[in-house]
Amino acid sequence: MTDRILTPRVLIVAGSDSSGGAGIQADIKTCAAFGVYSATAITAITAQNTQGVQRVEAVAPDLVAAQMRSALSDIGADVIKIGMLASAEIIEAVADVIAGDAEDITVVLDPVMVATSGDKLLEDMAVKALKKILLPLADVITPNIDEAEILTGIRPDDVDGMIEAGVRLMEMGAYAALMKGGHLDTKSITDVLVTPGGNHIMSAPRIYSKHTHGTGCTLASAVASLLAQGAPHEIPLEIAVREAREFVFEAIRTAPKLGQGNGPLNHGLGVGEAKPEPDTNPFAALKDLQV
């Protein structure tokens, strides 16, 4: 009789951030905060800090695939979280592994295209491959406003636009879309989870802080971790997204204020600190914060 695996597992497929604030490093820290075991397949090495990206060198696509297969064939995974992919060839390699070796594993796709500093992290030719090959394999995709526009051609400037773009992503093959509204010029941050069962609008006060490096990576990894915690019996995606948003909110609010530019978050939060008491709204008594 095979022992049931009790430890939730996430396989992270993403680039390395030498500053530790985003990419693989942020993903691992986030998984650890939720008590989830993380294995990794590194897609690119970056030289970057809070002020920008100085250099990017992609890993050979066959080596990316080999890392994934090595982890999957031994430790396994409940969720695969995908971040920076760098090139069309890497996207094709990742898609091949998922289709051949991980067909039944939940996939959380963060379509990383541009760093917080504004530096491009995905080649133009790779966008087409992501849309055609990888997006249809995603159980949930987590684009920000700019990424949603690139992927769908729709500029989601409000909630209705976010829903429209999310529906378009589902028509393109994704099961669900978490549309992130942090790039909109609004006092509150509103995200919309678009699913086959309906749309979930989630708002929170905006924290006015420059220490937001790695927020997208962190949110997607938090969602992946919570979904992994629910394996093999699924927890509702809406609940995973709500708790992941609360974690990111606290990670920004308590950021360590490192670096001269866009600093990293506080990934050291324990999962208990990120969860509200039952039947309470953690944002109800909060106003806009300046940190």
Residue 286 has pLDDT above 60, yes or no: no
pLDDT score, position 291: 40
Note if 214 is an active site residue. yes
pLDDT tens, position by position, 245-261? 999 999 999 999 999 99
pLDDT score, position 235: 77
Confidence of residue 4 (pLDDT cuts 50, 70, 90): low
Greater confidence (116 vs 25) lies with 25
Per the CB < 8 A criterion, the answer to whether 211 and 291 are in contact is: yes
Residue of 83, 166, 214, 263 marked active site = 214
Confidence of residue 278 (pLDDT cuts 50, 70, 90): very low
pLDDT score, position 205: 92
Q: Which two tokens stand for residue 1?
A: 């009789």
The arrangement of strands across the sheet holding 37-49 comes to 52-58, 37-49, 9-17, 79-82, 106-109, 140-141, 176-179, 188-195, 198-205
Note if 217 is an active site residue. yes
Note if 46 is an active site residue. no
Note if 181 is an active site residue. no
Residue 168 has pLDDT above 80, yes or no: yes
In percent, how much of the chain has pLDDT > 90?
A: 78
pLDDT score, position 288: 40
Least confident of 141-155, 166-180, 208-222, 227-241: 227-241
Strand 176-179 versus strand 140-141 pairing type? parallel
Domains, the chain, in order of start with CATH, read 9-267+283-290 (3.40.1190.20)
Residue 264 has pLDDT above 90, yes or no: yes
Residue of 29, 81, 131, 180 marked active site = 180
Note if 216 is an active site residue. yes
What type of residue is 156? P
Residue 120 has pLDDT above 80, yes or no: no
pLDDT score, position 111: 95
Residue of 212, 259, 270, 280 marked active site = 212
pLDDT score, position 274: 43
pLDDT score, position 230: 87
Residue of 83, 161, 217, 263 marked active site = 217
pLDDT tens, position by position, 131-140? 999 999 999 9
Cα–chain-centroid distance for residue 139? Answer: 12
Confidence of residue 122 (pLDDT cuts 50, 70, 90): confident
Average pLDDT over all residues of the chain: 89
Confidence of residue 275 (pLDDT cuts 50, 70, 90): very low
Per the CB < 8 A criterion, the answer to whether 249 and 222 are in contact is: no
Note if 280 is an active site residue. no
Residue 17 has pLDDT above 80, yes or no: yes
Residue of 116, 152, 215, 218 marked active site = 215
Q: Residue 133 — φ and ψ, nearest 5°?
A: -105, -45
Average pLDDT over every residue of 158-163: 95
Spatial distance between the Cα atoms of 93 and 61, rounded to a whole number of angstroms: 6
pLDDT tens, position by position, 71-110? 999 999 999 999 999 899 999 999 999 999 998 999 999 9
pTM: 0.89
